[in-house]
Amino acid sequence: MLNQTFGSPFEVFIFLSAVFVIFAFTITVHEASHAWMANRLGDPTAKHLGRLTLNPVAHIDPLGTLILPLILIITQAGIIFGWAKPTPFNPFNLKNPRQGGALISLAGPASNFLIAFALGLIFRATQFNLIIPILELNLILGVFNLIPIPPLDGFRIVGGILPKETAYQWLSLEKYGIFLMIFLLLFLLPYLSPFISQVLNFFIYIFAGI
């Protein structure tokens, strides 16, 4: 399919490489933002483990960063998402473990929305069309990570909002994360996709005016 679009294996290689580099940079900023917020809130765990860095190698998850995104790119699935190696933090180093954990989780999607906002300003000034796919990728990762299913960021964000007792029950679901993620990808995502698309289009209009 990609050969039909680009005409030569070299063009396909350049396209795949460019998309993957952009994706790797995007999730690197996402995870480094988690580490930065944790350090700001008094937990240096991620910093000591070398995660407070923009070096993509420190954040790579074989499945979520390499295999799944490449499959989605090669098959032209129409959407690309994935995840990096989770950024660790020690809740006992935080003044308020639940709310601190929620802020650390929120920092990742917030970084994607900030990048998208900046790209939108650049697009409005330059009308450079290649900016839009990068903007869309950041919005996809930002919105996708806000879904409240472990290990996505939205799960811990909700845990920081709920009342204390309810929050502990909610956070206890984290051990089922891999099963819930499979359920999301196989069964829920097809139904959520139209809603997610509307949200993405809304933000693209707000940020880029298109």
Q: Mean pLDDT, to the nearest integer, of 151-155?
A: 92
Cα separation, 209 vs 38, in Å, equals: 34
- Which amino acid is located at 189 in the chain? L
| pLDDT band of 78, cuts 50, 70, 90 | low
Per-residue pLDDT, 1: 47
Per-residue pLDDT, 7: 60
> Is 31 labeled as catalytic in the residue annotation?
yes
Cα separation, 204 vs 124, in Å, equals: 11
Cα separation, 88 vs 132, in Å, equals: 32
pLDDT at 115 over 80: yes
pLDDT at 143 over 70: yes
- Catalytic one of 11, 31, 165, 174: 31
Cβ-in-10-Å burial (0-12, 13-18, 19+) of 87 comes to buried
Fill in the DSSP letter of residue 86.
P
Q: Mean pLDDT, to the nearest integer, of 185-208?
A: 87
Q: Phi/psi of residue 49, each to 5°?
A: -90, 5
pLDDT digits (tens, 9 = 90+) for 18-62: 878 888 899 999 999 999 999 999 999 999 999 999 999 999 888
Express as a percent the part of the chain with pLDDT over 90: 55
pLDDT at 77 over 70: no
Per-residue pLDDT, 14: 81
pLDDT at 87 over 60: yes
Cα separation, 43 vs 35, in Å, equals: 9
Closest to 112 measured CA to CA, from 31, 187, 201, 202? 31
Cβ atoms 34, 88 nearer than 8 A? no
Express as a percent the part of the chain with pLDDT over 70: 94
Q: What is the pTM of this model?
A: 0.85
Closest to 81 measured CA to CA, from 2, 17, 11, 136? 136
Q: Directed axis angle between helix 131-145 and helix 189-208, to 10°?
A: 130
| pLDDT band of 75, cuts 50, 70, 90 | confident
Cα separation, 153 vs 157, in Å, equals: 6
